[in-house]
A and B are shown apart, each in its own frame.
Chain A
Amino acid sequence: MEPTPNAPADETALNAAFEAKIAAGDSIEPKDWMPERYRKQLTRMMSQHAHSEIVGMLPEGNWITRAPSLRRKMSLIAKVQDEAGHGLYIYCGTETLGVDRFDLYNQLLDGSAKYSSIFNYPTLSWADMGVIGWLVDGAAIVNQTVLAKTSYGPYARAMVRICKEENFHKRQGYEICATLAAGTPAQREMLQDAVNRFWWPALMMFGPSDKDSPNSAELLRWRVKRKTNDELRQRFVNLTVPQAQAIGITLPDPDLRYNEATKNWDFGEIDWAEFFEVIKGNGPCNKERLAARNKAHDDGRWVREAATAYAEKQAKKRQTEAA
Chain B
Amino acid sequence: MTAKAAGHDDEPGIAAGEAAAGTRPVAGARRAALGDPLVELLFRLGDDRLILGHRLSELTGHGPILEEDIATANMALDLIGQAASMLKLAGELEGKGRDEDALAYFRDAVQFRNCLLVEQPNGDFAQTMARQFLFDAYSVLLLDELSRASHAGIAAVAAKSLKEAKYHLRHSSEWVLRLGDGTDESHARMQRAIGALWRFTGELFVADEVEAAAAAKGAAVDLSGVQARWDTMVDDVLARATLRRPTDTAMQRGGRSGRHTEHLGHLLATMQIVARSHPGATW
Q: Taking beta carbons and an 8 Å cutoff, which residues of A are in contact with B?
A: 54, 57-58, 61, 64-74, 77-78, 80-81, 84-85, 87-88, 91, 126, 176, 179, 183-184, 186-187, 292, 295-296, 299-307, 309-310, 313
Contact = CB atoms under 8 A, between A and B. Distances in A.
Interface in B165-219: 177-179, 181-183, 185-186, 189
A70 B83 contact: yes
A302 B175 CA distance: 13
A310 B182 contact: yes
Interface stretch (B24-32, B61-69, B112-120, B156-164): B61-69
Contact of B61 (A66, A68, A296): A296
B60 A61 contact: yes
Given A65-B54, A68-B283, A84-B61, 10 more contacts: A57-B69, A66-B271, A68-B274, A77-B73, A77-B80, A88-B67, A184-B280, A300-B65, A303-B68, A310-B181
Interface string B76-96: 110011011000000000000
B63 A307 contact: no
Given A81-B70, A81-B77, A304 B64 contact: yes
A77 to B, nearest CB: 5
B61 A126 contact: no
B74 A179 contact: no
Contacts of A306: 178-179, 182-183, 185-186
Interface in B105-141: 105, 124-125
A300 B67 contact: no
Given A64-B57, A85-B70, A70 B65 contact: no
B60 A70 contact: no
B100 interface: yes
Nearest to A62: B61
A295 B278 contact: no
B81 A84 contact: no
B182 to A, nearest CB: 3
30 contacts: A54-B66, A61-B61, A64-B60, A65-B58, A68-B275, A68-B278, A68-B281, A68-B283, A69-B101, A69-B275, A70-B84, A70-B100, A70-B101, A71-B84, A72-B283, A73-B57, A77-B73, A77-B80, A78-B73, A78-B77, A80-B73, A84-B69, A179-B282, A292-B61, A299-B62, A301-B64, A302-B185, A306-B179, A306-B182, A306-B183
Contacts of B186: 302-303, 305-306, 309
A57 B105 CA distance: 25
B104 interface: yes
Given A69-B105, A296-B64, A183 B282 contact: yes
Interface residues on B, range: 35 or more
Contacts of B282: 179, 183
Contact of B64 (A78, A80, A299, A310): A299
B62 A295 contact: yes
A183 B281 contact: yes
Counting chain A CB atoms within 10 Å of each CB, the highest count among B50, B57, B83, B181 belongs to: B57
B124 A299 contact: yes
Nearest to B71: A81
A74 B194 CA distance: 29
Given A65-B58, A183-B282, A295-B62, A84 B178 contact: no
Contacts of A70: 50, 80, 83-84, 100-101, 104
B270 interface: yes
Given A77-B77, A309-B183, A310-B181, A303 B65 contact: yes
Contact of A300 (B64, B177, B178, B182): B64
A221 to B, nearest CB: 34
Given A66-B273, A69-B275, A295-B62, A303 B77 contact: no
Contact of A179 (B124, B177, B182, B283): B283
Contacts of B101: 69-71
Nearest to A81: B73
Nearest to A64: B57
A77 B65 contact: no
A77 B58 CA distance: 10
A81 B189 contact: no
A187 B274 CA distance: 11
A72 B80 CA distance: 11
Nearest to A65: B270
Contacts of B100: 70
Contacts of A126: 274, 283
Contacts of A91: 66
B66 A87 contact: yes
A269 B143 CA distance: 60
A187 B277 CA distance: 11
Nearest to B177: A310
Contacts of A88: 66-67, 70
A299 B175 CA distance: 16
A55 to B, nearest CB: 9
Contact of A66 (B69, B77, B80, B274): B274
Contacts of A77: 57, 60, 73, 76-77, 80
Interface string B28-67: 0000000000000000000000100010011011111111
Contact of A187 (B80, B275, B281): B281
Q: Which of B50, B61, B274 gathers most chain A CB within 10 Å?
A: B61
